[in-house]
A and B are shown apart, each in its own frame.
Chain A
C-alpha cells in the first residue's frame, strides 16, 4: 500500500483504426499522490484525454494496470466503475457539459442525488460548493443564462460538491478568455489546498501551467518528461 491515489503501470491503450490499430498510450508508468495539482501537457493526439478517461474509469487500458483509489480499473464492472466515479472522482470538461434543462443548483446537486444523500445535507453541500466558486446568488439560474466562465465554475462546483479524492479536468480553460482562465484555475488551486483533492489536468494552456505543481509532458502516447515545479 502507498499514499498514491493513482498508480499506472505499463498502461497501453490501442484503438482500432481501420484494419490496423492506433496506439494512443504506450506503456505509461505514472503515479499521483494525494493533494497533487498536476497537469498532462502535450499536443493534440498525445494521449492526454485517453489517460484521463482511463484514470476516470470511463475507459480501460488495453494492457497494463491502472489502480485508482485502490481499484483496478480494468477489473471493475460497470456498476463498480460508476460507483467509483460517483464517490471518488469529479470531472470538469472543456465544454462544461452542464445539463441544460436543470438550474445551477440542480446541476451541482445531481452527483449528490446519485449518492442518495439526505435532502437537508444535500442542499447545504450544494450551497457550500456554489459559495466556493462564488455563484451562490445564481443558484436558480439556467446554464444558458450564464457566461462561459460562470458555466465552468458551476462545473467545478459540481465536481467538488461530493468532495472527491480526485478531480480530472480536461482542457478546462480551452473555451475561456484569459481572465476567466486565471479565475477558474485559481479557484481550483484554492480548493486543492483547502480540501487536499488531487487535481489532474489535461492542458496546453500556459495560463493553467503556471499554477501546476507537476507537469507531465506526453508525446505520441508516451511520457516525455515528468517535471516537479518547486513553488516559492
Chain B
C-alpha cells in the first residue's frame, strides 16, 4: 500500500499493511532541504519540495500545505509580521478588527485573488501533480475561534464572548463563509483531506465551547464533508473539557495534543473515532530517546485501540533527532491494522 491508500483504507475501517503515520512537520520540513522558513511560507514550490523530501526521508504517509495561521487574515488585510526563519505572526495592537464595527465592511477575500491563500492552493495543485496517487494530500483552513482570534486579537476575542456575543456570532459567520470558500478552492486543486486548526478553542472552557465554538466548527466540518473531502480537526493545547463535543463533530480524524490523554479521548468519543497523537512534541519527540518515542506511541495506541494514527500532539519541533521521528515509523511498521 502507498501512503494515500493506507490512510484512506484505515479511515474506511479496511485492513492496512501498517498503521498510518501523520506527524505535522513545518519548520522541521523546511530544515530538511535547508531553506529559511520565510521561503517555506511565501513560496509554495519550496513548501512542496520540503514536504516531499520530509515524507520521503521518514516515510510519512501524507503531505500538507499547513505552514502558519496567517494566510486568510493576511488576504483580509490584517497586518502580519514576517520573520526570517520562523512562522509569521499577528500584532494584536494592530488587529484588523480592533474596532468591532469594522466587521460590517470587511470583504471575504477571493482565495484565487493572488494573495497568500492562492499560494496555498498552488501548493495543493503541485502536490496533486507530483504525488497525487501516492500520498494523501492535506489542505488546511483555520477554525472559527482561531481565525476569529487572528482577525480580532486573541486577548480581545476572549473578552468578546462576554461583552458582545452578537459580534462573536457575526464574526464566526464571516469566518465560516470565508473558510468554506478556501476549502472549496483547495479541494478543487486536489486535496483529499482538509485539516482544520482551531487552536484558540482550547482556551475557552466548556460553556463557551458548546455555546459559541462547537456550532460553527460543526457547520464548517459539515460543509467541508459535503464537498467530498475528509476532515482532520487539530486543536492545540488542553481540550479535555471539549472532548465529548469534538467527538460529535463528525471528523474523520481528531488530533489530541499532549495535555489531552488519549484514553480520555477514546472514552469521550466512542470506539469508532480515529484519534491521532499525542506525543509531547518537546519532552518526548525532541528531548526524549528512541525508546521513549516507541514506548509513548505504544501507550497511545494501546489507549486508542485500532482506530489510531501515529503522530505527535502538535508540530514536530525543529531540532528533533531524526531517529526519534523514524521511531514512529518503526512502531507503525510493527502493527498491521
A complexed with B: no
